[in-house]
Structure 1
Amino acid sequence: MPQSYLICYDIRNPKRLQKVHKVIIHYGVLLQFSVYYGLMEQHTLKEMVDKLITIINDKEDDIRIYPIHGSTLENWPKEGFSGNDKFLLLN
Structure 2
Amino acid sequence: MLYWIIGYDITDSRRLQRVHRVVLRYAIPLELSVFLLAGHEIDKQRCMEEISSLIDPDTDDLRCYPLPARGLQERIGKATLPAGIHWSGLPSGQNSI
TM-score bracket for this pair, using the shorter chain length: 0.7 to 0.9
* 1:36-75 mapped onto 2 (5 Å cutoff): 36-69=35-68, 70=70
Q: Provide the TM-score with structure 2 as the length reference.
A: 0.74
Following the alignment from structure 2 to structure 1, what is the Cα–Cα distance between the partners of residues 84 and 63? 28
Instruction: Give the CA deviation at 1:53.
Output: 1.3
Instruction: Give the CA deviation at 1:17.
Output: 0.3
Q: Which segments of 5 or more consecutive residues in structure 1 lack a partner in the other structure?
A: 73-78
Q: Give the alignment partner of residue 80 of structure 1, picking from 73, 79, 84.
A: 84
Radius of gyration: which is bigger? Answer: 2
Q: Provide the TM-score with structure 1 as the length reference.
A: 0.78
Higher relative contact order (CA 8 A, sep 6+): 1
Q: Which segments of 5 or more consecutive residues in structure 2 lack a partner in the other structure?
A: 73-82, 92-96
Provide the secondary structure at the position in 2 that maps to 1:46.
Answer: helix
2:22 aligns with 23
Instruction: Give the CA deviation at 1:25.
Output: 0.8
Q: Following TM superposition, where does structure 1 have runs of at least 4 consecutive aligned residues deviating by more than 4 angstroms?
A: none
> Do the aligned residues in 1 keep the contact of 2:2 with 2:38 (CA within 8 Å)?
yes
Instruction: Give the CA deviation at 1:71.
Output: 5.3
Following the alignment from structure 1 to structure 2, what is the Cα–Cα distance between the partners of residues 66 and 39? 12
Following the alignment from structure 1 to structure 2, what is the Cα–Cα distance between the partners of residues 16 and 41? 26
Following the alignment from structure 2 to structure 1, what is the Cα–Cα distance between the partners of residues 23 and 71? 20
Q: Give the count of matched residue pairs.
A: 82
